[in-house]
DNA sequence: TCAGCAGTATTCAACCTTGAACACTACTCG
DNA sequence: CGAGTAGTGTTCAAGGTTGAATACTGCTGA
């Protein structure tokens, strides 16, 4: 669980679907295509949920479901705070060699309010500007380095430029009212293949068993 | 040591500087700026070298250096083969969310012969073409997905395009005789700050102690 | 001269990740 | 009905990673 992306993804999945069990989290993440880009495997999900529980970010209740016991997770206030912190970090920090955290944060966009998300993206652009100002490697350093290093630098600079330009496009879309964020009415419904639908009955059972209040859509600080 | 990049980097460093001890590897990697982009820490270097030794890719000799003992690593034939395999994989496989392996393979360019490296890059371009052909997500799927997913797809496509175009540029440079590869005479010398220089005496001592033949520049299959 | 600091070289316990395997339920098809 | 297959939900031992800590050497300067 060093991997920040895994924490973020797990907290996000619980916030979206709580009360939820480990297998449901797994299925939902798989349906997002996370098997391809998120490098997550069954073991990490369960151990990740256990770690987050130990740290107080999640709460685990073992419910009797007929003859067997199911571990059902809900988020705590600290968990929500941790999620907001991790998401902000993933959105604001620029690391060309590890774009996974940013991709993860993009996929969790519906969990956050529009203005909060936009502010994080603006902070990311500021960070880009700082990096561009800082340390343009001296001509001397360039000439002393082995000849393939300038090529690597060039690739990094192009990658950074792409990231910056794309974030500007996304920000423009968000500021002009595009996309759907937490706390906003939406006419979009998950497709029938999405396990989110199949989870409905179980979620209701879990809610009843835990004595939780009705729906409550996930919103953000 | 699941992380392929770490294996690649460690094998590469040993191939470049053998016979070499763990601390020298660490310093050399730090001087490449790997602290920033390669996420490597002292512990992983030593445990990585131990794992590679256990797997037969490296050989460890404990040399007496005055009153203390130093663990000195050299590569085995299997280690060289493993390096070539890992490098090829890193160069040929396209993973937009994890470019680190490709970056690592770029930094190790001087360990491989020109034609071998170019062939790997051509294979990478072929892979790009395959990915572009495969699975253009259906219009239906796009409309059913939550509205931010098309944006993620767009970012991935742009990232892939950048990678492809940049590899084409690099390949052109290589095919026209640019850069310096294994087995080619070079007038480039490492800058004085490079720990490679400071290592000279110790390498010589290690070579003598191990009864190894003179220099021998690292070449490739 | 010797305290103290920087540098060299490595280890290790705590923690995390991996993925195979387990145990169970539910369906399906002859 | 009963065997086989697919799906559900989770655990666990083996192994990897982390980074603080260790222990030593050599230099510097009061």
Distance CA(A103)–CA(A163), nearest Å, equals 11
Question: For A111-159, how does the pLDDT look when each residue is reduced to its tens digit (9 = 90+)?
Answer: 999 999 999 999 999 999 999 887 666 565 566 678 888 899 899 999 9
pLDDT at A40 over 90: no
B185-198, pLDDT tens digit by residue?
876 655 555 555 66
Whether the predicted pLDDT of B202 surpasses 90 = no
d(CA A42, C1' C20) / Å: 11
Query: CB pairs below 8 Å between A and B: how many?
Result: 86
Specify the pLDDT at position A193.
57
Please state the domain extents for chain A.
4-117+182-210
Whether chain A has a CB inside 8 Å of the CB on B53: the answer is no
- Pick the closest to residue A5 from A98, A81, A134 (CA basis): A98
Residues of A in contact with B162 (CB under 8 A): 158-159, 162
Q: Hey, of A2, A35, A99, which one would you mutate to test binding to chain B, going by the most B CBs within 10 A of its CB?
A: A99
**Least CA distance to A98: which residue of chain B?**
B98
Residue A56, pLDDT score: 93
Yes or no: say if B183 and B113 are a contact pair by the CB < 8 Å rule: yes
**CA–CA separation, B32 and B40 (whole Å):** 12
Q: Are B174 and B116 in contact, with CB atoms under 8 Å apart? A: no
More confident residue, A136 or B211: B211
Q: What is the pLDDT of residue B137?
A: 61
Task: In whole angstroms, give the CA distance from residue A39 to residue B93.
Answer: 15
Phi (first) and psi of residue B12, to 5 degrees? -60, -45
Of the pLDDT bands very low, low, confident and very high (cuts 50, 70, 90), residue B130 is very high
Query: Which bases of chain C are under 7 A from a protein CB atom?
Result: 8-13, 15-21, 24-26
Nucleotide nearest to A23 (CA to C1'): D9
Residues 64-103 of A with CB within 7 A of strand D:
65, 69-71
B81 touches chain A (CB under 8 A): no
pLDDT reported for residue B22: 92
In this predicted model, what pLDDT tens digit does every residue of B37-89 receive, in sequence order? 767 888 899 999 999 999 999 999 998 877 788 999 999 999 999 999 999 99
Return the CATH class of domain A4-117+182-210. Answer: mainly alpha
pLDDT in tens, A66-93: 778 899 999 999 999 999 999 999 999 9
Instruction: Point out the least confidently predicted range of A103-112, B167-176, B208-217.
Output: B208-217
CA dist., res. B174 & res. A115, Å (int): 47
Q: What pTM did the predictor assign?
A: 0.90
Give CB contacts under 8 A, 24+ apart, made by A152-160.
Answer: A152/B103, A152/B106, A152/B107, A154/B166, A155/B103, A155/B106, A155/B166, A156/A96, A158/B162, A158/B166, A159/A96, A159/B99, A159/B159, A159/B162, A160/A94, A160/A96, A160/A128, A160/A131, A160/A132
């Amino acid at each position: 669980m060093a991997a920040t992306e895994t924490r973020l993804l797990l907290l996000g999945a619980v916030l979206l679907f709580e009360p939820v069990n480990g297998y449901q989290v797994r299925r939902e993440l798989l349906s997002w295509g996370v098997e391809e880009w998120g490098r997550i495997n069954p073991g990490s999900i369960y151990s990740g949920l256990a770690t987050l529980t130990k740290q107080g970010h999640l709460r685990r209740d073992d419910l009797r479901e007929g003859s067997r016991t199911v571990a059902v997770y809900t988020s705590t206030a600290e968990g929500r705070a941790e999620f907001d912190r991790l998401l902000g970090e993933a959105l604001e920090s620029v690391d060309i060699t590890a774009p996974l955290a940013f991709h993860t944060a993009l996929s969790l966009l519906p969990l956050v309010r529009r203005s909060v998300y936009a502010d994080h993206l603006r902070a990311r652009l500021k960070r880009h500007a700082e990096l561009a100002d800082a340390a343009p490697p001296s001509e001397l350093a360039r000439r002393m380095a082995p000849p393939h290093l300038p090529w690597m630098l060039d690739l990094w600079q192009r990658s950074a430029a792409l990231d910056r330009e794309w974030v500007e496009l996304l920000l423009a879309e968000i500021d002009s009212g595009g996309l759907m964020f937490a706390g906003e009415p939406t006419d979009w419904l998950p497709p029938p293949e999405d396990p989110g639908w199949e989870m409905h009955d179980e979620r209701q059972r879990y809610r009843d068993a835990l004595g939780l209040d009705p729906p409550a859509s996930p919103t953000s600080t």
